[in-house]
Every structure is written in C-alpha cells, then in structure tokens.
Amino acid sequence: MLTKLKNRMSGPQMIALGFFLIIMAGSLALMLPAASRTGEPTPFITAVFTATSATCVTGLVVVDTFSHWSLFGQIVLLCLIQIGGLGFISLGVTVSLLLRKKIGLKQRGLIQESFNVLEIRGAVRLTKQVVFGTLFFEGTGALILSACFIPKMGFLQGIYYGIFHSVSAFCNGGFDLMGRYEPGSSLTGCNGHPIVLVTIMLLILIGGLGFIVWSDLMKNKLKFRRYSLHTKIVLCATIVLTFGGALLFYFMEKNRLFSDMTPMEQILNSLFCSVTPRTAGFNSVDTGAMTDGSKLLTIVLMFIGGAPGSTAGGIKVTTIVVLFVYLKSTLTRTQGANIFGRRLEDAAIQKASSVFFINISLAVTAGIAICCAQNLNGVDALFETFSAISTVGMTAGLTSSLNTFSLVIVALLMYLGRVGSLSFAMSFTDKKKITHIMQPVEKINIG
C-alpha cells in the first residue's frame, strides 16, 4: 500500500510530505518533558511553531532557544536545522550510498527536484559534493567560532556553541544560544567582534550561493567565462546586493543605530545587516530599533533571498534578475531577454513571474490578516510575514506577541517558503490532465 502510494506521488508531493512528517516528528520530540529546562511538556503550538521554524531553517521563535530548551531540546533543533538545510532527500541518499545501495532513477529525480537542478545526470555526484562541502564548511566555521567562544565560555561550552552557530549559519537557520546573556539578543553582544561576524557572514554567503554554484566553481576555478549562466547571475547578483545593501544601511543608520560604534564597526555591522536577511535571521543590532527605511530595505533583501538549490530562502536572486532583464528588454524593445551573451527561455520568465506574484501575495495577505486579528503595526506585521515566507527568521520583536491564529499563519508561510510555494501549488496539478485548447485572442489595455 505504502509502496503504491509512493510510486503515485510526484517529486514535489514527496518533498512536501517529507518536510511535513519531519516537522511533526520534531514537534513530538520538543513536546517531551526532557526537551525543556523546566522538565514540563511544551505546549503543542509552541513545539510545532519551533519545529517548523527549525526544519524550514527560518529562525523565528516564540521562546528563547537557550532559556526554554534543554540540551536535548537544543540538539533536536540542531538536527532539524541540518535536515532542513541539506534536505532530507540528500541525507537519505547519503545513507543509501554508505550502505552501498543502488540509487535508482526515482531517487535521482528526487535529488534533481530537491536541489532544483536542470538535469538528472550527475545527481549522485552532486549529492556527494554537497555532503562533503557541508561538512568542510561547517567544520571550519565551528573551529573558528569555538576558538572565539572558548576563552569566555570554557572548553566544552565553547566547542558546543561553535558547532551550533556554525551549522545554524551555514544552513541559514538563524537559531542562536546567546540567550544565556540576554534572551532574544541574537548576536548583538558580538557586534564589536570582527572574527565572529565575518565567520558567520561567510558561512551564510557560502550556504546561500547554492550547491550548483559550488560544483561550477570547483570545476572551473576562477575562470569566469567558463561559468554557466546560472553561476554568473548568482555571483554578480550576490555581490551587488551584499555591498549595495551595506552601503544603504551605512548611510541610513550611521548617525542612528550605529552612532556609538567606531567607523570599522559601522562598516562591519552594515555588511552584516546586508548579508543576514538573505536569509539567515541573525542580527548584530536591535532590528526593532531600525529606521523604517532600514526595515523596508531588510524586507526587500529578505524577499529576494539567496540562490536556487541552496540553504537560503526567498524568491531567489535568479528570479529577480530574470524579471529585471525582461523589464529591460521590454523598455528597450529588444527581441528576447538577453544577459551575458545568452537569451533567457520564455519558461524561465513565466516561472519567475509566478514565483514573484505568489510569494508577494502570500506575504501581503498574511500581513493584512495578522493586522486584522491583532491590530498590530503594519510595517512590523509585513516584516514578520516576509521574514516567514522567505525563511529568514528576522523579527521586529513581534513573534512573541502573536496569538495562536497569527502563529499558525506564520508557521504555514515558513513551510510554504521552504517547500517552495510554486512547487507546493504545482504538486496538486502535476498529474492532472489538462486539455490544451487555444482560446480566441482579444486585446486588453495594460498600464
């Protein structure tokens, strides 16, 4: 029965179901008395929300990670973050490879769907690169962070904190244990520590580039001309968004949020404010104290996110670049949308438009629903919903004050953001027969 159901399910359906089951299993584990510091069972809605946030590598929390969860609960969260970041498909394939089992065509198709690659060829090789690359980067980050934390926390605590924050940063999870100093403080206590912030930023950026880009960089090294069009777009967009965003944050907060910092700290925190919305969820300054301009810029960066096939969320940098290229071709009346000497296919433009419209509609609709339910500040509500759908985890201080209705909405947004709103919608239509009949054309006025 289960085998027959499995064979009938499409790739997007299996991924959506898989993430749902992992969230439910994580919720049950977090509800255990052993998962909380007090030894009392955690309420169902809190456990589900936290498990969803961890599995969807978001970072939004209703209780402080350090203050509420015991060591067992924190390890459960760490496992969920790792599974959510890499994807359970890649972990399952890795286990099969270790057991020397054959990877069939169905499994290769799931890898293709999970990593959002265009070809099924080389799927197993890509999985190996992803797993080994993840271990290398997370391990390196853990060593550097541990060296920073050990003098202050002690040997074992320093190593544990180094591992936890390295995994959380690389997987763009946004969970932290700095509540031991001040609940909900994230990395604000490290905003003057360049090694910690730079390490976290590099882990976020590397995790957010995407596994396809890793493979291309390993193959072609620094030879930009040999990169695929996908890699060129991701690298250029990442550089523009990172440094462009940092410049805007610097000018908007230089005499406000950064006024008590040295010039070097201002630059460092400007970069961190630009990197973390795409889509890690850490913050080195009080997000709620930002100017409205900085909050809107953060919303834009959260909405864009990282690269396809990465640990990051958002609509992805390739989506926004495709839409801008198409806009340019429309304004200049150019035949075809061209970039880097190549013409984009029409299907890419259609998919980019669909992803953009679906995500922005979900975030805005959810923001309005939350405002109606609780009469909250509109900008802060949108900040929360865009953070959720983009699986970022940044908050303007609203999460802990949300009622059950709002928490369910935010949790659903996180789930859709991780699975992919378009993929989730298409999972219900993949196997439906659609009659391809061309309807008569009639012109309408646009603009």
What is the full DSSP assignment across 85-136? Answer: HH-HHHHHHHHHHHTT----HHHHHHHHHHHT-S-STTHHHHHHHHHHHHHH
Q: How long is the chain?
A: 447
- Contact in structure between 427 and 409 (CB atoms under 8 Å): no
Q: Give the number of other CB atoms < 10 A from CB of residue 15.
A: 23
- Contact in structure between 237 and 321 (CB atoms under 8 Å): yes
- pLDDT of res. 113: 56
The token duo for 63 is 């209780």
Mean pLDDT over each residue of the chain, to the nearest integer: 85
Query: What does the domain layout of the chain look like in residue ranges?
Result: 2-423
Q: What is the pTM of this model?
A: 0.88
Q: What is residue 286's three-state secondary structure?
A: coil
Tell me the CA end-to-end span of the chain in Å, nearest whole number: 53
Selection from 421, 169, 407, 233 nearest residue 315 by Cα? 421
What is the rounded CA–CA span in Å between residue 355 and residue 417? Answer: 11
What is the rounded CA–CA span in Å between residue 206 and residue 29? Answer: 30
- pLDDT of res. 98: 59
What is the rounded CA–CA span in Å between residue 433 and residue 430? Answer: 8
pLDDT digits (tens, 9 = 90+) for 259-304: 899 999 999 999 999 999 977 889 899 888 888 899 999 999 999 9
Q: Give the number of other CB atoms < 10 A from CB of residue 379.
A: 14
- pLDDT of res. 114: 55
- Angstrom CA distances, 26 to 19, 52, 68, 76, 214, stand at 10, 8, 16, 7, 30
The token duo for 34 is 């052993």
- pLDDT of res. 1: 46
- pLDDT of res. 2: 43
pLDDT digits (tens, 9 = 90+) for 87-116: 666 666 666 655 566 666 556 655 555 555
Q: Give the number of other CB atoms < 10 A from CB of residue 297.
A: 20
The token duo for 392 is 């970022």
- pLDDT of res. 107: 61
pLDDT digits (tens, 9 = 90+) for 159-170: 999 999 999 999
- pLDDT of res. 111: 59
Q: What is residue 343's three-state secondary structure?
A: strand
What is the rounded CA–CA span in Å between residue 178 and residue 187? Answer: 7
What is the rounded CA–CA span in Å between residue 140 and residue 166? Answer: 8
Q: Which residues of 387-415 are buried (b: 16+ CB within 10 A; e: fewer)?
A: bbbbbbbbbbebbeebeeebbebbbebbb
Selection from 268, 73, 64, 34 nearest residue 178 by Cα? 64
Sign of CA dihedral 67, 69, 72, 75: negative
Which are the contacts of 146, defined by CB distance < 8 A and separation ≥ 6? 158, 159, 161, 162, 163
Which are the contacts of 387, defined by CB distance < 8 A and separation ≥ 6? 58, 60, 281, 302, 393, 394, 395
Low-confidence ranges of the chain (pLDDT < 70): 1-12, 87-124, 126, 421-436, 447
